[in-house]
Chains A and B, each alone.
Chain A
Amino acid sequence: MTLGASVGLVRAFTLRRAVALVVILAACGGSAVPLALGEDLPPTSPEEIQTLIAQTDTPVIINVWASWCIPCRSEAPLLVAAYESLGDQIRFVGVDISDTQRAALEFLAEFGIEYENYFDPNRTVPASLGRAGVPLTFFFKTNGELSYVHPGVIDERTLALRIDELLEG
């Protein structure tokens, strides 16, 4: 067997293994079981969000998200973990923008998000707070004062630190 033929065999074998690995990994993910979807998200407005913040006697974290936003998928498990451990001390609110009701509900079901969420297809809430883009995370103190805005995907350290700062304040 020539050297070229040997190299060709090795390459073909490596390619087959790579394809097999990709197929196996792809098969490991996803679920054929349809997710149970909840009620449609209630629509909201900047005024309603301002009222919500003003009438809440705890700090408020507002996460602006969309089902098509890749970074939002990435940070969703962190927000769920934060809500599960601190939901009694901080009010967590989600605002879904530029989305459809069905896609939003599938997103919430997929990540098991149980805190309150609102529907804002025209992006009026982030615009009223002077921000654009998605995701955005707003941290409001108990007195309603905006403590910090995090543009883009948030990481665990930053989320934990800003939550600690809210609770200290």
Chain B
Amino acid sequence: MEFTLLWAVLVGVVPLLAVLRLAPLPDARKDLGDIVLTAAMIGLLVGRLAATVASGVNPIQRPGDIIIVRSGVATGWATVAALAWAVWASRPLWRRALDNAGPAALIGLAGWHSGCLLRDACLGPKTDLPWAMRLDGSVVGRHPTELYAAALLVAIGGLLWFLVKSRPHLAGTGLPAGLALAAAGATRLITEPLRPALGDGPIGWYALAIVAGLVYAATLTIRPLTSEADAG
């Protein structure tokens, strides 16, 4: 997506931090906001490294290529790395931390997608629908694809956040985090056909996120944690 990176980070991080502040982890031994932001940065780095290698460039020989973030970030590897860091950094309460961070992460992702408005980069295939948007100087109406994704993420993130707030016993069951991961994957998978692309896009990774999220949620919901020690 053709976003100015700093703007994209800003519009993604601000709602994320706002939601985390509204719903702090009551028994957190560590700062959840720090963990999530660090996870995002590590995910960005790993995703960029993976994209660099995938394009046939050795990042050791050409370290300067790594900083060209706008050339692409491998979504799947970035997600895996960010989740791995979040789990490691929030141990032994990692399951509870993920459940609290999951809905907030969806809201942050929605903010990041809506950053497309700042760079005229929201658009997908042409359409005659009343809410179609146009590139500057163009007569061709197009789907505001990234805004669809943002709206979906806000709706699901808000729903999950309400769930966690109204039923505190769910925090630590894995249900909110699992559903959040599945929702993030599903949102990208659903909107992917509406994104201009030269290839198929990483739809395998999106499908994997859905399956992994649902399996994680189901497994831990069926066998809920019984004590703090289980959380390790």
CA of A153 to CA of B71, assembled, Å: 7
Q: How far is the CB of B66 from chain A (nearest CB, A)?
A: 10
CA of A160 to CA of B196, assembled, Å: 5
Q: Are A30 and B58 in contact (CB under 8 A)?
A: yes
Residue in B60, B68, B124, B196 whose CB lies within 8 Å of A26:
B60
Which chain A residues (119-166) contact chain B, with CB distance < 8 Å? 147-148, 152-161, 163-165
Known pairs A70-B65, A161-B123, A164-B126 / 14 extra A-B pairs, C-beta < 8 Å = A25-B58, A29-B57, A30-B61, A74-B65, A82-B198, A85-B198, A155-B1, A157-B1, A157-B2, A157-B197, A160-B198, A165-B135, A165-B140, A169-B140
Q: How far is the CB of A19 from chain B (nearest CB, A)?
A: 12
10 residue pairs of the A-B complex, CB under 8 angstroms, read A25-B59, A70-B65, A81-B198, A153-B70, A155-B71, A155-B72, A160-B196, A160-B198, A161-B123, A165-B138
Q: Given that A159-B198, A165-B138 are contacting pairs, would A71 and B126 also be in contact in the complex, using a CB cutoff of 8 Å?
A: no
Which chain B residues (122-146) contact chain A, with CB distance < 8 Å? 123-126, 135, 137-138, 140
Residue in B1, B59, B71 whose CB lies within 8 Å of A75:
B71
Which chain B residues (43-60) contact chain A, with CB distance < 8 Å? 55-60
Which chain B residues (1-58) contact chain A, with CB distance < 8 Å? 1-2, 55-58
Look across to chain A and name the residue whose beta carbon is closest to the beta carbon of B195.
Answer: A157
Chain A CB within 8 A of B62 CB: yes
Chain A CB within 8 A of B64 CB: yes
Q: How far is the CB of B12 from chain A (nearest CB, A)?
A: 17
Chain B CB within 8 A of A3 CB: no
Q: Are B198 and A156 in contact (CB under 8 A)?
A: yes
Using CB atoms and an 8 Å cutoff, list the residues of chain A in contact with chain B. Answer: 22, 25-26, 28-30, 70-71, 73-75, 77-78, 81-82, 85, 147-148, 152-161, 163-165, 168-169
> B188-206 interface mask toward A, CB cutoff 8 Å, 1 = contact, 0 = none?
0000000111110000000
Which 10 A-B pairs give the minimum distances between C-beta atoms?
Answer: A29-B58, A160-B196, A74-B71, A161-B196, A158-B2, A26-B60, A74-B68, A70-B64, A81-B198, A168-B140
Chain A CB within 8 A of B121 CB: yes
Look across to chain A and name the residue whose beta carbon is closest to the beta carbon of B138.
Answer: A165
Q: Are A153 and B55 in contact (CB under 8 A)?
A: no
Look across to chain A and name the residue whose beta carbon is closest to the beta carbon of B134.
Answer: A165
Q: How far is the CB of A105 from chain B (nearest CB, A)?
A: 18
Interface centre among A30, A73, A160, A163 (most CB of B within 10 A): A73
Q: Are A70 and B68 in contact (CB under 8 A)?
A: yes
Q: Are B2 and A168 in contact (CB under 8 A)?
A: no
Q: Which residues of the other chain, A, contact B197 by a CB distance below 8 angstroms?
A: 156-157, 160
User: Number of residues in B with C-beta < 8 Å to the partner?
Assistant: 30
Interface centre among A25, A148, A153, A156 (most CB of B within 10 A): A156
CA of A154 to CA of B126, assembled, Å: 21
Look across to chain A and name the residue whose beta carbon is closest to the beta carbon of B198.
Answer: A81
Q: Which residues of the other chain, A, contact B65 by a CB distance below 8 angstroms?
A: 70, 73-74
Look across to chain A and name the residue whose beta carbon is closest to the beta carbon of B197.
Answer: A160
Q: Which residues of the other chain, B, contact A29 by a CB distance below 8 angstroms?
A: 57-58, 60-61
Look across to chain B and name the residue whose beta carbon is closest to the beta carbon of A152.
Answer: B70
CA of A22 to CA of B198, assembled, Å: 33
CA of A143 to CA of B35, assembled, Å: 54
Q: Are A157 and B121 in contact (CB under 8 A)?
A: yes
Q: Are A73 and B62 in contact (CB under 8 A)?
A: yes
Residue in A81, A152, A163 whose CB lies within 8 Å of B199:
A81
CA of A156 to CA of B54, assembled, Å: 14
Q: Are B126 and A156 in contact (CB under 8 A)?
A: no
Q: How far is the CB of B82 from chain A (nearest CB, A)?
A: 21
Q: Which residues of the other chain, A, contact B1 by a CB distance below 8 angstroms?
A: 155, 157
Q: Which residues of the other chain, B, contact A148 by a CB distance below 8 angstroms?
A: 135
Q: How far is the CB of A78 from chain B (nearest CB, A)?
A: 7
